[in-house]
Amino acid sequence: MTPDTMFAAPTEHAEAARYATYGLQLGTDPDPGAIMKLCRELNVRFMRLTFTDILGHTKNVEVPASQFQKALDGEILFDGSSIKGFVRIEESDMLLKPDLETFRVFPWGNPEARVARLICDVHNPDGRPFAGDPRLCLRRVVARAAEMGYVVNTGVEAEFFLFQTDENGGATTITHDSAGYFDLTPVDLGEKARRMIVNDLEAMGFEVEAAHHEVAPGQHEIDFKYEEALRTADDLTTFRFIVRNAALAHGLHATFMPKPIFGQNGSGMHTHQSLFMNGENIFFDADAEYQISDTMRYYIGGLKQHAKAVAAITNPLVNSYKRLVPGYEAPVDIAWSQRNRSPMIRVPDRRGVGTRVEFRMPDPACNPYLALAVQLAAGLDGIERQVDPGPPIDTNVWELSAEERARYQMESLPANLGEAIVEMEKDDLIRNTLGEHLFDNYVHAKRQEWAENIAQVTRWELDRYLTTY
């Protein structure tokens, strides 16, 4: 399908976007009847029922208008045995239970045959929640936080690259510009694509805060407002889809691969986290040192203590660890700081309602639901056990000597995916957070990935060794 047939013309696109926002008018507890009525009014002819597999890939089953009521009632079956890490062939039938609050109409296509979207939880045929559903994993952690009296707010900064495509439409690693941080057109050639992304995101209900060119050539960032944790994960899956489609419309390929280009900064996904109780940000304490509460310090302590294991989820690819190396503005050390961007965790300057933890390790290739689940679980564990994070390190940790690092008792993050998986297997909190099904299948998949990687003979090896030895 060409971009011309997949996307509407500019005027048609604008009209579609206007209608797409109607999904937001259904409120926080929409009625299936109201969704059916809206679908008729807006000429919605197809509905995508989306879910996320264990590796973070968004999947969907699309149904026509004749099946909308069945879909809204959670009666659409799909073959779970074809999804990585789900179920065996002899137990393949799974149910899609839609979260009606996620109903949106896509802001493109034919106004006479619009397409809508619902994000779904996955259930067993008997109606029980499926243990391998990443979204339900995050639901459990959010529910645990609620039992402790907390509302969890999170926000993400998901960077991405735009690359040129070849004559067959395939992806290349040739950047579409040579711009740098905050550059303008004509140096920044991604402006039109970013504006389309922003328009589409706003039509889908996002509050977009900023869009700009990032440090590396062809690298971009679009920031949207924080939400409660489950909605943030939902938003990230939607964001990645919107970005890829807008790139396609401009003849480009968008990738969230953490480190696609040697010698350039990789793409991170800094994750901002705060806890609220009775409408108040409990990370803020006006009378405490640095104006951060003990609760926040313990939360940081939990993140530090479990960071090595968490990395296997937040940095899930072999390629992820090509980003986590010195010299490219990505964290290498398990430390926290005020303002300083070199450690793994920083506390941005803002205080009051904006007091928050910025966890700088994750990358945008992660499974959003599992990544947030393990981060929140680690932080909550720190609160429950009152884990002391130690003093902040406000110097540039990338410039510390070995002796200085030893004095700070500073540990390093895993150097590769293999090390991260070993750390994950040793961490009971991560095992219990994911549950047996998710944990075992995830570890199995990543061990396979690592084994395949270490068996490869790379171009670098051939160039270095073939004629020398």
Q: Which residues are catalytic?
A: 79, 157, 159, 214, 221, 270, 341, 358, 360
DSSP track, 385-447: HT--------S-GGG--HHHHHHTT-EE--SSHHHHHHHHHH-HHHHHHHHHHHHHHHHHHHH
As given in the structure block, the two tokens for residue 175 are 């950047």
Q: Name the DSSP letter for residue 200.
A: H
Q: Are strands 219-224 and 280-281 parallel, antiparallel or unpaired?
A: unpaired
Q: Are strands 219-224 and 93-98 parallel, antiparallel or unpaired?
A: unpaired
Among 117, 128, 140, 65, residue whose Cα is nearest residue 94: 128
- Contacts of 321-328 with CB under 8 Å at 24 or more apart are 321/414, 321/415, 321/416, 321/417, 321/420, 322/258, 322/259, 322/266, 323/258, 323/259, 323/266, 323/267, 323/268, 323/363, 324/361, 324/413, 326/398, 327/398, 328/264, 328/265, 328/266
Residue 145 φ/ψ, nearest 5 degrees: -60, -40
- CA–CA distance, 109 with 103 (Å, rounded to integer): 17
Coil/strand/helix, residue 86: coil
CA distances from 249 to 9, 50, 181, 190, 457 (A): 11, 22, 24, 12, 36
Residues 98-116, buried b or exposed e (16+ Cβ, 10 A)? bbbbbbbbbbbbeeeebbb
Among 202, 339, 325, 340, residue whose Cα is nearest residue 258: 325
Degrees to nearest 5, angle at CA 358 with 354 and 359: 155
401 Cβ contact partners less than 8 Å away, ≥ 6 residues apart: none
- CA–CA distance, 175 with 168 (Å, rounded to integer): 17
- CA–CA distance, 66 with 241 (Å, rounded to integer): 26
DSSP track, 95-152: EEEE-GGG-EE-SSS-TTSEEEEEEEEEE-TTSPBPTT-HHHHHHHHHHHHHHTT-EE
Residue keyed to tokens 């540039």? 396
